[in-house]
Chains A and B, each alone.
Chain A
Amino acid sequence: GENVEQHPSTLSVQEGDSAVIKCTYSDSASNYFPWYKQELGKRPQLIIDIRSNVGEKKDQRIAVTLNKTAKHFSLHITETQPEDSAVYFCAVSYLDYGGSQGNLIFGKGTKLSVKP
C-alpha cells in the first residue's frame, strides 16, 4: 500500500523567515496531494492542494511543488507569521476519472513554531 514520509517532524523559524516541509510517497498511481493545517485542539483544515498534472501551485504566502518522477512534494511558507504555528500534514490520494477521491494517506506531521 501507499506509504508517506514527512520531514522534518519539528521546525522552528523566526517570524518573516521561510519554512519548507517535504513529503515522499511510494505509489506512482497517486495523483492528488493536499496539505492540511491543524491548530491545537482544532480540526485539520485544507490549506492547499495539487494534482499530478501540475508541477507547482501558489496561494499568497503558501506554495506546493510536486516532482512526480522523484515522488516527492513540498510545502513552502514564505514570510512566516506567529499564526502559522501549527501542525502541518501532507497527504496522498488517488482521484478517479470522475474526480472522486479515495481515502487519504497522511504523513506523520510537522510541528511548525514561528517565533516572534
Chain B
Amino acid sequence: EAGVTQSPTHLIKTRGQQATLRCSPISGHTSVYWYQQALGLGLQFLLWYDEGEERNRGNFPPRFSGRQFPNYSSELNVNALELEDSALYLCATTRLAGYEQYFGPGTRLTVT
C-alpha cells in the first residue's frame, strides 16, 4: 500500500508570493488534515477536509486556504507569504470512520 505523498519536497518563495502545496492520500482515505511544523513550535493544526468540505480550521489567518478534490487529494494555498511562514507543512489522512492519522513526508517551505 502506497503511503501519503506530498509535493513538492522543498519550495523556496519570496515574501509576498503565493505557495501551493499538494497532498495525495492513501487509497481509501477520505479525510485530509494539514499541519504546520515550525521550529520549536511542534505541530499546529491548520485545516481539515472531509468529503470535499472544510470541516475545521486552526488559528491561522485567511491567507491560508485549501481545497479537497473529488479523488480526495488536497491542496494547501498560502497567499501573501511572510517570513514566519517558513516551516515544514505536513498532511495526514484517515480512512472513512477511521481515527489513525497517517502522515506524509512534508513540504519544506522557505520564505526569503
Contact = CB atoms under 8 A, between A and B. Distances in A.
B90 A93 contact: no
A89 B43 contact: yes
Nearest to B58: A103
B58 A95 contact: no
B42 A106 contact: yes
B95 to A, nearest CB: 10
A62 to B, nearest CB: 16
A109 to B, nearest CB: 5
Nearest to B6: A43
Contact of B98 (A93, A101, A104, A105): A101
Interface residues of B, number: 29
Interface in A77-102: 89, 91, 93, 95, 98-102
A98 B103 contact: no
Contact of A106 (B43, B59, B105): B43
A44 B92 CA distance: 10
Tier of interface size on chain A: 20 to 34
Contacts of B104: 43
Contact of B45 (A32, A98, A103, A107): A103
Contact of B33 (A43, A99, A104): A104
Contact of B44 (A34, A49, A95, A106): A106
A44 B90 contact: yes
Contacts of B31: 100-101
Contacts of A46: 100-102
Interface in B65-112: 90, 92, 94, 96-106
Contacts of A34: 100-101
B66 to A, nearest CB: 13
13 contacts: A93-B99, A99-B97, A100-B99, A101-B99, A102-B56, A103-B45, A103-B48, A103-B55, A103-B58, A104-B45, A104-B92, A106-B42, A109-B42
Interface of B: 31, 33, 35, 40-45, 48, 50, 55-56, 58-59, 90, 92, 94, 96-106
Interface of A: 1, 32, 34, 42-46, 49, 89, 91, 93, 95, 98-109
